Structure 1
Amino acid sequence: MLVRVGVLPEDALDAASAFHVEVLPRLRAMPDAAITCVFPPAGHGHADWRRAAIQSLAREIAPHRINGIACDDEAAIAAAEAYLTTADGVTGQYLPLDGEGAGKVLHSAS
């Protein structure tokens, strides 16, 4: 089940507070399903609170699963959702996504 967090404040502490007040109760009330929580892209200062929130929720709702992704690329969101829905062993992860991909694999010539 895909859950979009929506716009949060730019400041990391304010964003964490808004998430815990506005979004967390909604996530806790969700039916038993694999949840993929979609955060909008944000600066590095947001990664720790997002990761901690998703990890704590994963422990709370186990054996049901929740993962978080940060992305605004719809194709990347759909691909991540398709993978996470079927990856039974993956839970409590926060994955910032780049819809451009990793790029070419570079290797040295032998």
Structure 2
Amino acid sequence: MKRIMVDGLPDDPLAAAGVFHQHWLGHVEDVLVRGEDVMLQLPAADYTHREWRRAIVAGLARKHTPRRINMVAGEGDAVDATDTYLAHAPGITGQYLET
């Protein structure tokens, strides 16, 4: 599973979704089209970011089945443990997880 660390997102949720679509979406879809499963790592954010993050990862999972993609917010050991878990859990895709 390829981990893509997404950075440079603004604090405003609408602006963050726009930056993700403009700067990250194409790269993520290229990786999925090449046949790799993906875990997106984003910085932790407050509740105002949940909906756009859930919508993006669910949409990507539907579009790129059978490839798997999940999104994890946070940093450190908890994200590493989640990455290890997801790599060995072939039925989990389209999920937004906060560590």
Q: TM-score normalized by structure 2?
A: 0.94
| Larger helix percent | 2
Runs of 4+ in 1 over 4 A off after TM superposition: none
- The unaligned stretches of length 5 or more in structure 2 are none
Q: CA deviation at 1:7?
A: 2.4
Matching of residue 88 in structure 1 with residue 64 in structure 2: no
Q: Hey, what's the Cα distance between the residues in 2 that align with 1:22 and 1:85? A: 25
Indicate conservation of the 8 Å contact 1:7/1:40, yes or no. Answer: no
**Higher-Rg member (1/2):** 1
Query: Which residue does 1:100 correspond to in 2?
Result: none
Structure 2 counterpart of 1:64? 67
* Equivalent in the alignment of 2:77: 75
Q: Alignment length, in residue pairs?
A: 96
In structure 1, how many angstroms separate the alpha carbons of the residues matched to 2:82 and 2:17? 23
CA-atom RMSD, angstroms?
Answer: 0.7
Which segments of 5 or more consecutive residues in structure 1 lack a partner in the other structure?
A: 98-110
Percent identity of paired positions between Structure 1 and Structure 2:
38
Give the distance between the partners of 1:7 and 1:47, measured in 2 at CA. 17
Structure 1 CA distance, aligned partners of 2:64 and 2:73?
A: 21
